[in-house]
Structure 1
């Protein structure tokens, strides 16, 4: 059996993070969770976790936002799958989000997370 696909999860609220980890696990994914954009960037750059997708909250407290995090990761790896999660910032997605990303609004059902990640991994990045 192949190893579960690892997803880099960035969520600064522990309860929500735990919910996301469970939802991904139920969907056949493995979560690699961090609580800030800065931690996510260093984990991604380090490369040891071999994450295949980014699942990030938009509002991450004092550090860089989920919008900025996704842009920086895309500079390193163009086309990297990105799923944003937000309760309040959905309206900014068109102007702030990276191309070919998905946004899910909080509160969401656990299955929505796994479905969103699966969609991006199945389709891969479309050129252009």
Structure 2
């Protein structure tokens, strides 16, 4: 997938991460997956591995949240496309989410995920 769009995926639950990777792949999008906000910051700071968007769970266990991760990435690269995934924290999106971000509530259909990423990247382009 040499020309595929790559997305930095941050999800701390392995089964959900695998589901997300498959959903993105079905939509022609490649995932660069990590399981924590700290690992995502490291990956992003080391050159983003060519990733064009951040797709992050909001609740990432111990460590920084998806909200904080997105803010830190936006400090490095203003306007970087961000998509949040959550089930319980959706009401906090307006106060915690970065400007221009998208929120997808779990559970979601695979096609919803790929469509949201594609739409966000088209808007950012």
TM-score range, shorter chain: over 0.9
1:22: which partner in 2?
22
2:7: which partner in 1?
7
Deviation, structure 1 residue 104: 0.3
1:71: which partner in 2?
71
* RMSD of equivalent CA atoms: 1.2
Q: TM-score, normalised by structure 2?
A: 0.97
Deviation, structure 1 residue 2: 5.9
- Deviation track 1:84-103 (CA, whole Å, cap 9, x = no partner) reads 00010000000000000000
Unaligned stretches of 5+ in structure 1? none
Deviation, structure 1 residue 50: 1.1
SS of the residue corresponding to residue 49 of structure 1 reads helix
Return structure 1 stretches of 4+ with deviation > 3 angstroms: none
Count of equivalent residues: 125
Q: TM-score, normalised by structure 1?
A: 0.95
**What is the alpha-carbon distance in structure 2 between the residues aligned to residue 2 and residue 50 of structure 1?**
11
SS of the residue corresponding to residue 60 of structure 2 reads coil
Unaligned stretches of 5+ in structure 2? none
**What is the alpha-carbon distance in structure 2 between the residues aligned to residue 123 and residue 2 of structure 1?**
23
**What is the alpha-carbon distance in structure 2 between the residues aligned to residue 110 and residue 48 of structure 1?**
24
**What is the alpha-carbon distance in structure 2 between the residues aligned to residue 7 and residue 48 of structure 1?**
9
2:113: which partner in 1?
113
